[in-house]
């Protein structure tokens, strides 16, 4: 079976885009009424032609999610360990060329963060670092996982792409989930937004999920940074990537996130601006396309949007997040990656979830079951 890099190289961006934009109401209705939607149906669901069907899509997404996940929402918290980074990414507050104070947490500082998150009730932590191999390489991440395994039953990472043997080493220490977003699947635009550093290697990044699948990871996350490219075309590539991975690495589980670009110190002009309605459309399209997948939402989005999205297909959500290393125990907004939109506390957000008839779940998966 060919790799996804080879598959993606053979999907023409422009004709894919044209195909999405030329979908009709007939295509959308077919996609909504078929038992097993395929990638052509996904195109119809994310197309402009599907916009008048948003209510119907939302109802279907809600029903499919309830059937598969019940009325539960998994809670997680990001834990930023370092803002050091050797890459230039045009959209990120941690980019090498952004003049901010750099900080990497010591063991004591990591444990201080853990203590705060435990006091909030979290049992699933997402470790986040910049990409700086000398300071936050595999050994640093491994040590962080060792510090956290006594405290959390689910450990995820969002760090630089690694080699298969490095993933295997971290899985043996208790790593459960790895999130690696391609940012954009448009090769030319990718180059423009990642001009320097290891991340400028598009091929190495797009092959990461194959290395993860071979390493036997429990769950992996796929996605794009919404705003860098036309969101519909980029999302189609992400959905194709997901379909490929599910077939090839069927023992792993999958998650999709929907990061929309937010203001940051090194701000970038967006190629496409996605409205709230379009984000709802995309979330529902993914759920209708794939009933099994985890759909995740961060605090980048506003209070109102997050309140409304709970019933529409999202199954995993963060709250009370800090994007500066050390931000839970010793907040310093000068160190943060991007500005958080929803600033409610964990307990306030939990109440919001409950008010909507849903149950926040802090412990949904135990790494010991792996
Ligand atoms: S997106 Fe990641 S790799 Fe790029 S500058 Fe930010 S932290 Fe570094």
Which tens digit of pLDDT belongs to each residue from 96-124? 999 999 999 999 999 999 999 999 999 99
Residue 133, phi then psi, degrees to nearest 5: -55, -35
In a domain, 344, yes or no: yes
d(CA 136, ligand 1 centre) in Å: 13
| Cβ proximity of 130 and 136 under 8 Å | yes
Return the structure tokens found at 215: 């390493």
Question: Which CATH number characterizes residue 152's domain?
Answer: 3.20.20.70
d(CA 262, ligand 1 centre) in Å: 14
Q: Which atom of ligand 1 is nearest to the CA of 160?
A: 3
| Number of domain units in the chain | 1
d(CA 288, ligand 1 centre) in Å: 32
- Residue of 78, 82, 94, 265 with the most ligand 1 atoms within 8 Å of its CB, for mutation: 94
In a domain, 100, yes or no: yes
Rounded Cα distance, 308 and 312, in Å: 8
In a domain, 141, yes or no: yes
Q: Which atom of ligand 1 is nearest to the CA of 129?
A: 7
Q: pLDDT: is 334 or 239 the higher one?
A: 239
d(CA 90, ligand 1 centre) in Å: 9
Which tens digit of pLDDT belongs to each residue from 220-249? 999 999 999 999 999 999 999 999 999 999
- The pLDDT value given to residue 367: 53
- Three-state SS at 202: helix
**pLDDT band at residue 366 using 50, 70 and 90 as cut-offs:** low
pLDDT at 10 exceeding the cut of 90: yes
- Residue of 83, 126, 130 with the most ligand 1 atoms within 8 Å of its CB, for mutation: 130
In a domain, 62, yes or no: no
Residue 65, phi then psi, degrees to nearest 5: -70, -45
d(CA 326, ligand 1 centre) in Å: 18
Residue minimizing CA distance to atom 5 of ligand 1 = 95
d(CA 350, ligand 1 centre) in Å: 30
Residues 6 or more apart from 344 whose CB is under 8 A from it?
303, 319, 320, 352
Rounded Cα distance, 175 and 312, in Å: 29
Residues 6 or more apart from 204 whose CB is under 8 A from it?
161, 198
Range of the domain at 216: 71-227+251-274+290-363
- Three-state SS at 296: strand
d(CA 256, ligand 1 centre) in Å: 19
Return the structure tokens found at 323: 């994007």
In a domain, 9, yes or no: no
Rounded Cα distance, 32 and 345, in Å: 37
Burial label, 49 (beta-carbon count in 10 A; 0-12, 13-18, 19+) = buried
Which tens digit of pLDDT belongs to each residue from 175-209? 999 999 999 999 999 999 999 999 999 999 999 99
- The pLDDT value given to residue 167: 98
Which tens digit of pLDDT belongs to each residue from 153-162? 999 999 999 9
| Cβ proximity of 72 and 361 under 8 Å | yes
Sole residue written with tokens 């010591």: 106
Q: Which atom of ligand 1 is nearest to the CA of 86?
A: 8
Which tens digit of pLDDT belongs to each residue from 256-289? 999 998 655 546 778 888 999 999 999 999 999 9
| Cβ proximity of 359 and 352 under 8 Å | no
- Residue of 90, 127, 131 with the most ligand 1 atoms within 8 Å of its CB, for mutation: 131
Exposure string over 70-109, b if 16+ CB within 10 A, otherwise e: eebbbbbbbbbbbbbbbbbbebbbbbbebebebbbbeeeb
Residue minimizing CA distance to atom 1 of ligand 1 = 92
| Cβ proximity of 83 and 94 under 8 Å | yes
pLDDT at 296 exceeding the cut of 70: yes
| Cβ proximity of 240 and 38 under 8 Å | no
- Residue of 88, 102, 104, 199 with the most ligand 1 atoms within 8 Å of its CB, for mutation: 199
pLDDT at 25 exceeding the cut of 70: yes
DSSP 82: B
Residue minimizing CA distance to atom 4 of ligand 1 = 89
- The pLDDT value given to residue 254: 98
Return the structure tokens found at 48: 């402009």
Rounded Cα distance, 297 and 241, in Å: 20
Within 6 A (CB) of ligand 1 lie 85, 87, 89, 92, 94-95, 130-131, 199
- The pLDDT value given to residue 363: 78
d(CA 362, ligand 1 centre) in Å: 28
d(CA 95, ligand 1 centre) in Å: 6
Rounded Cα distance, 23 and 4, in Å: 25
Q: Which atom of ligand 1 is nearest to the CA of 183?
A: 1
In a domain, 213, yes or no: yes
In a domain, 10, yes or no: no
Q: Which atom of ligand 1 is nearest to the CA of 95?
A: 5
Which tens digit of pLDDT belongs to each residue from 61-89? 999 999 999 999 999 999 999 999 999 99
pLDDT at 43 exceeding the cut of 60: yes
Residue minimizing CA distance to atom 2 of ligand 1 = 130
């Amino acid at each position: 079976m060919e790799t996804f890099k080879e598959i993606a190289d053979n999907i023409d961006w422009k004709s894919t885009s044209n195909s999405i934009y030329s979908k009709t109401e007939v295509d959308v209705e077919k996609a909504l009424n078929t038992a097993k939607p395929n990638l052509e149906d996904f195109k119809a669901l994310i197309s402009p032609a599907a916009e008048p069907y948003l209510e119907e899509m939302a109802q279907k997404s809600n029903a499919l999610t309830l059937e598969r996940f019940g009325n539960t929402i998994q809670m997680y918290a990001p834990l930023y360990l370092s803002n050091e980074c050797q890459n230039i990414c045009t959209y990120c507050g941690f980019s090498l060329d952004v003049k901010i104070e750099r900080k990497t947490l010591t063991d004591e500082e990591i444990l201080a963060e853990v203590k705060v998150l435990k006091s909030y009730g979290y049992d699933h932590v997402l470790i986040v670092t910049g990409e700086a191999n000398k300071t936050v390489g595999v050994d640093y991440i491994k040590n962080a996982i060792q510090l956290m395994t006594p405290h959390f039953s689910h450990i995820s990472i969002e760090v630089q792409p690694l080699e298969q043997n490095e993933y295997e080493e971290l899985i043996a220490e208790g790593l459960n989930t790895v999130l690696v977003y391609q940012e954009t699947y448009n090769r030319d635009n990718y180059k423009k937004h990642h001009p320097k550093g290891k991340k400028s290697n598009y091929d190495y990044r797009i092959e990461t999920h194959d290395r993860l699948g071979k390493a036997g990871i429990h769950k992996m996350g796929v996605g794009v940074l919404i705003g860098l490219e036309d969101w519909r075309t980029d999302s189609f590539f992400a959905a194709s990537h997901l379909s490929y991975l599910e077939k090839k690495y069927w023992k792993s589980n999958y998650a999709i996130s929907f990061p929309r670009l937010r203001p940051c110190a090194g701000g970038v002009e967006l190629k496409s601006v996605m409205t709230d309605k379009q984000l709802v459309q995309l979330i529902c399209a993914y759920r209708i396309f794939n009933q099994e997948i985890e759909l995740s939402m961060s605090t980048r989005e506003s209070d109102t949007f997050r309140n409304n999205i709970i019933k529409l297909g999202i199954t995993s959500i963060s709250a009370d997040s800090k994007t500066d290393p050390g931000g839970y125990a010793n907040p310093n907004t000068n160190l943060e990656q991007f500005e958080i939109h929803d600033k409610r506390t964990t307990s306030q957000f939990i109440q919001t979830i409950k008010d909507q008839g849903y149950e926040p779940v802090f412990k949904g998966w135990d790494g010991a079951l792996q």
